[in-house]
Amino acid sequence: MDLLHLNDELNIVGQAKKYGIPLWQHPQFLFLVMGVIIILSSTLSYFIGRRYITDPEVVALFVIVLTLVLLVLAFIIAKSFEKLAEASRLKSEFIGIVSHQLRSPLSNMKWIAELLASGKNNHKQEEYFQMLQENSTRMQELINDLLMVSRIEEGGLALKKKEFALQDSLSEVISSLQPMIRAANIILKVETEGNPPKVFADPRQMHQVLDNLLENAIKYTGRTKDAVLKDGARDRTVTIRLKKEARHLRCEIEDRGVGIPQEDKKYIFQKFFRSTNALRHETQGSGLGLYIANSIVKSSGGKMGFRSKEHKGSTFWFTLPIARQ
């Protein structure tokens, strides 16, 4: 920690103002108060001890034990307040990001509507209407995702679990994404080992997970015209594999697209995070998809993960518990 930073840390009043929390909730301030209390009570106990207890060793022990207990208490209290302050800061940060993300399509729509109403550029009307539609879809998707996030955070992801064949959901998702697959010239391969067992999960939510992963694989393979794609990323194959493991069914979705840069990997499942890969700008997204998918898989009793190499592609996988026969 450099000196400037230390100075910042010590400016308690400034920090409390910055994060919008009252002084008594500020961890450093509390620590200071606790420190003063500890010093006072240790000194006091020393004098009291000396007066009533004759053995100096017992006095010393008494003071040390009391100080230690107070120190631990102070630490616990300050820690819990710190968490509280962090949670409140994260919440306002979240609201900030959300309103900004909602505002963009909204202000786009406002201006497009203004253009349409002005009656100028009549020959471009169709294009404007299409833009209007795209932006309203984007806004709707964002709101759906946000509702999902709030359900996840309240711990209220109501999963209607039942036995079903994951490959059926997969076929549904593939057929709904067919236009996108064709438009992007994707070669889609599905590899299954034998007859995959049924899983025990919520089919509707798993539909969303598969849809998200497959859509990402297609999006980040890139369009043939994207100049940013390196030679290695020209392969347009997306492979889906279903494999039975001991108690789980494993599903892998592999693309040969732009991949995820090393420094972005640890954030990939965080909400609102979008990788700075080569196609970040060409693709739209709220940065909520993988966060939601990961939460659904986790609460279904499975795991999700990925491996990826920049310019070589990514493989996202998840597991789901197999239904008991």
Partner 1 sequence: MKTILFIEDESALQKTVGDVLSDEGYKVLSALDGEAGLRLAKGKTPNLILLDLVLPKLTGFEVLEKLQADEKTKRIPVIVLTNLENLQDVQRATELGATTYLVKANYELAEVVEKVKTALRE
The answer to whether residue 276 forms part of the interface with partner 1 (CB under 8 A) is yes
Q: Given the rule CB under 8 A, which of 98-106, 144-152, 244-252, 261-269 is the region that contacts partner 1? A: 98-106
Find the binder of partner 1 among 5, 120, 266, 324 (CB under 8 A).
120
Smaller CB distance to partner 1: residue 250 or 280?
Answer: 280
Name which position in 21, 85, 112, 253 contacts partner 1 (CB under 8 A): 112
Q: Which of the residues 132 through 151 are near partner 1 (CB under 8 A)?
A: 134-135
| Amino acid residing at 16 | A
With respect to partner 1, which residue has the nearer C-beta, 82 or 141? Answer: 141
**Are 285 and 278 a contacting pair, CB within 8 Å?**
no
CB 206 within 8 A of CB 296: yes
Site membership for partner 1, residue 159 (CB under 8 A): no
Q: Which of 17, 83, 91, 124 binds partner 1 (CB under 8 A)?
A: 124
Can you give the C-alpha Rg of the chain in angstroms?
Answer: 28
Residue with smaller CB distance to partner 1, 45 or 286: 286
The answer to whether residue 228 forms part of the interface with partner 1 (CB under 8 A) is no
Answer for which of 8, 9, 93, 127 binds partner 1 (CB under 8 A) is: 127
Question: Judged by CB under 8 A, which stretch of 33-41, 115-123, 230-238, 296-304 contacts partner 1?
Answer: 115-123
- Residues in the interface with partner 1 (CB under 8 A) total 23
Would you say 164 or 273 has its CB closer to partner 1? 273
> Could you tell me the smallest distance in angstroms from the CB atom of residue 229 to partner 1?
16
Q: Examine residue 121 and tell whether it contacts partner 1 (CB under 8 A).
A: yes
Report, in Å, the least distance between residue 9 CB and partner 1. Answer: 19
User: Exactly one of 48, 66, 77, 115 binds partner 1 (CB under 8 A); which one?
Assistant: 115
The residues that touch partner 1, with contacts defined as CB under 8 A, are 96, 100, 103-104, 106-108, 110-112, 114-115, 120-121, 124, 127-128, 131, 134-135, 276, 280-281
